[in-house]
Amino acid sequence: MNQANRKKAVALLRREIQEYKNSFVYTPLVVSAVLIICMLASVLLANSITVTGDAVIDIFNDDHSHKGVNITITLDEDELRHDYVVSTETPHSLADDEEWNFSREWKFTPQRGENVAEEEDGIVRGSLNPVLNGLHCLFLILLLVTSINYLLGTFHQDRRDRSVLFWKSVPVSETQEVAAKIAIVCVLAPAIYLVISMVTQVASVFLAMLITWRMDSDPVQTVLANVDFLGLFRGQIGGILIWVLWTVPFYAWLLLCSSAARRSPLLVALGIPVALIVLEKLFVGSQYLSEVFTNHIPHIDGTEGGSTLGFYFYEPQWLSLDYAGLLLGLLVTAALLVATVWFRKHRFEM
Quote the CA–CA distance of 160 and 153 in Å, as a whole number. Answer: 10
Helix axes 129-160, 229-260, angle to 10 degrees: 20
Quote the CA–CA distance of 320 and 317 in Å, as a whole number. Answer: 6
> Which tops the pLDDT comparison, 63 or 186?
186
Which of the given ranges, 126-135, 174-183, 212-221, has the highest pLDDT on average? 174-183
Angle at 332 between CA 262 and CA 314, to 5 degrees: 110
CA 7 to chain centre: 33
Quote the CA–CA distance of 98 and 312 in Å, as a whole number. Answer: 60
CA 9 to chain centre: 30
Q: Is 210 helix (H, G, I), strand (E, B) or coil?
A: helix
Phi/psi region, residue 162 (left: phi>0; alpha: psi -120 to 50; beta: rest), is left
**Ordered alpha helix ranges (H), the chain:** 3-19, 21, 27-60, 129-160, 164-169, 174-183, 189-214, 219-222, 229-260, 265-283, 288-295, 323-346
Q: What is residue 124's predicted lDDT score, i.e. its pLDDT?
A: 46
Which of 68-72, 166-170, 336-340 is the least confident region?
68-72
Whether the CA torsion 336, 341, 344, 347 is positive or negative: it is negative
Q: Exposed, middle or buried, 115 (CB in 10 Å: 0-12/13-18/19+)?
A: exposed
Which of 7-21, 44-58, 124-138, 215-229 is the least confident region?
44-58
> Which tops the pLDDT comparison, 11 or 106?
11
- Which among 325, 12, 13 is positioned nearest to 187, based on CA atoms? 13
- Backbone phi and psi for residue 284, each to the nearest 5 degrees, phi listed first: -110, -35
Q: Please say whether the beta carbons of 341 and 260 come within 8 A.
A: no
> What's the chain's average pLDDT?
78
> Within a 10 A sphere around the Cβ of 31, how many other Cβ atoms?
18
This prediction's pTM:
0.74
Cβ density class 215-244: b for 16+ within 10 Å, e for less? eeeebeebbbebbbeebbbebbebbbebbb
Q: What is residue 101's predicted lDDT score, i.e. its pLDDT?
A: 60
Q: What is residue 285's predicted lDDT score, i.e. its pLDDT?
A: 82
Q: Which tens digit of pLDDT belongs to each residue from 232-291? A: 899 899 888 888 888 999 999 999 999 998 888 999 999 999 999 899 888 888 888 888
Q: What is residue 103's predicted lDDT score, i.e. its pLDDT?
A: 55
Q: What is the mean pLDDT of residues 32-43?
A: 90
Q: Which tens digit of pLDDT belongs to each residue from 51-94? A: 555 554 455 455 554 555 555 555 555 555 555 555 555 555 55
Q: What is residue 213's predicted lDDT score, i.e. its pLDDT?
A: 86
Angle at 140 between CA 313 and CA 29, to 5 degrees: 125
Q: At residue 321, does pLDDT exceed 70?
A: yes
Q: Which residues contact 186 (CB under 8 A, 6 or more apart)?
A: 244, 248, 251
Angle at 42 between CA 237 and CA 140, to 5 degrees: 25
Quote the CA–CA distance of 81 and 78 in Å, as a whole number. Answer: 9
In percent, how much of the chain has pLDDT > 70? Answer: 70
